[in-house]
């Protein structure tokens, strides 16, 4: 066989190999939840097309660690490899579908499905998707720094705190259900803990002007904590004015407990009449 024949044979073999390669086993879909709450469960799903191959096994990895394997030809088709970051619910897992449970913050990151073909090709396909794990705050947010009573013009200095979450929430204030002036707000502060959680705080400083007060003489302050579209919680407190100011705002008159001049004159007149009556009684 001359050189041209050798070249022709190699080209044909390469063409056949490439044609087979284009119709090898492939993954058609990988589904991983966008978000899971720490301690909760979720479903992973991997589907494939065999084309000219025959599927031998499916494996799921969290980062580089295999935790699930499905081999339909094996005596025990499902194998589970323990991970400290999650559990596998074997009763709800089969084929390329896996129910993971008790996920921890350490489970966040890349997951990938790997499908392998049987011989003679032993083709392998792999597709990756990311999982985010969130840990919701320890309870509702709280507002600190509210005094028992204020008078108009007093300086208000309050802080909203949301404890221990991942990711940190976005904190915001409203007064009487209306957005506050941006210059009143300090940049949000996030304190990171060694366990990966964050405590967040937001400070607000402003003067309690009369225009902020409702007819009852108070202003309602609300702080809201929000994590993406998954979590939202809020807390409300009241900035109350002193009773004298409340009376002047509501009635346009004097503070409760004060006596107008007419009241004082009436009292003097009554006293005078009593004395006059006693004098006249003795003269008679």
Domain boundaries of the chain, sorted by first residue:
24-134, 142-251
Q: Would you state the pLDDT for residue 14?
A: 43
- For the residues 46-62, what does the mean pLDDT come to? 92
Q: Would you state the pLDDT for residue 21?
A: 45
Q: Would you state the pLDDT for residue 18?
A: 43
The structure tokens listed for 281 are: 């009684």
pLDDT band at 273 (very low <50, low <70, confident <90, very high): low
Name the least confident of 119-123, 186-190, 262-266.
Answer: 262-266
**Of 131, 195, 121, 187, nearest to 163 (Cα)?**
195
Angle at 128 (CA atoms; ends 106, 134), nearest 5 degrees: 30
Residues in the chain: 284
- For the residues 172-178, what does the mean pLDDT come to? 97
pLDDT band at 216 (very low <50, low <70, confident <90, very high): confident
59: number of Cβ within 10 Å: 21
Name the least confident of 24-38, 70-84, 240-254.
Answer: 240-254
Whether 12 shows a pLDDT value over 70: the answer reads no
CB 162 within 8 A of CB 199: yes
Whether 69 shows a pLDDT value over 80: the answer reads yes
Whether 53 shows a pLDDT value over 90: the answer reads no
Whether 281 shows a pLDDT value over 70: the answer reads no
Whether 15 shows a pLDDT value over 70: the answer reads no
Q: Would you state the pLDDT for residue 8?
A: 43
H or E segment at 140? none
Whether 127 shows a pLDDT value over 70: the answer reads yes
Q: Would you state the pLDDT for residue 272?
A: 53
Q: Would you state the pLDDT for residue 72?
A: 95
The upper half-sphere exposure of residue 186, i.e. CA atoms within 13 Å in the direction of its Cβ, equals 14
Name the least confident of 13-17, 35-39, 203-207, 277-281.
Answer: 13-17
Q: Which CATH superfamily is domain 24-134 in?
A: Immunoglobulins (2.60.40.10)
The structure tokens listed for 262 are: 């007419």
Q: Would you state the pLDDT for residue 244?
A: 46
| Domain 142-251: assigned CATH number | 2.60.40.10
- For the residues 207-223, what does the mean pLDDT come to? 94
Distance CA 259, CA 9 (A): 117
Whether 276 shows a pLDDT value over 70: the answer reads no
86: number of Cβ within 10 Å: 22
Is 142-251 in the same CATH topology as 24-134?
Answer: yes
For the chain, what is the mean pLDDT? 84
- For the residues 233-247, what does the mean pLDDT come to? 78
pLDDT band at 254 (very low <50, low <70, confident <90, very high): very low
């Amino acid at each position: 066989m001359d050189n041209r024949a050798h070249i022709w044979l190699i080209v044909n073999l390469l063409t056949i190999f490439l044609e087979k390669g284009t119709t090898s086993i492939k993954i058609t879909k990988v589904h991983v939840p966008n978000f899971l709450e720490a301690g909760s469960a979720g479903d992973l799903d991997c589907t494939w097309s065999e084309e000219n191959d025959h599927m031998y096994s499916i494996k799921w990895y969290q980062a580089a660690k295999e935790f699930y394997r499905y081999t339909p030809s094996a005596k025990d088709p499902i194998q589970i490899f323990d991970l400290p970051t999650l559990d596998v619910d074997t009763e709800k897992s089969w084929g390329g579908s896996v129910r993971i449970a008790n996920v921890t913050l350490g489970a966040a990151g890349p997951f990938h499905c790997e499908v392998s073909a049987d011989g003679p090709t032993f083709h392998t396909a792999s597709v990756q998707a990311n999982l985010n794990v969130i840990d919701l705050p320890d309870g509702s947010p709280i507002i600190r720094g509210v005094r028992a009573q204020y008078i108009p013009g007093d300086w208000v200095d309050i802080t909203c705190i949301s404890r221990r979450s991942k990711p940190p929430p976005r904190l915001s204030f409203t007064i009487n259900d209306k957005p506050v002036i941006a210059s009143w707000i300090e940049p949000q502060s996030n304190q990171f803990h060694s366990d990966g959680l964050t405590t967040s705080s937001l400070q607000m400083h402003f003067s309690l002007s009369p225009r902020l007060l409702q007819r009852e003489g108070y202003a309602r302050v609300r702080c809201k904590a929000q994590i993406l579209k998954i979590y939202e919680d809020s807390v409300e407190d009241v900035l109350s004015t002193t009773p004298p100011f409340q009376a002047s705002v509501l009635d346009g008159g004097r503070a409760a407990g004060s006596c107008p001049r007419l009241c004082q004159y009436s009292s003097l007149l009554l006293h005078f009449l009593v004395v006059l009556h006693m004098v006249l009684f003795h003269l008679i």
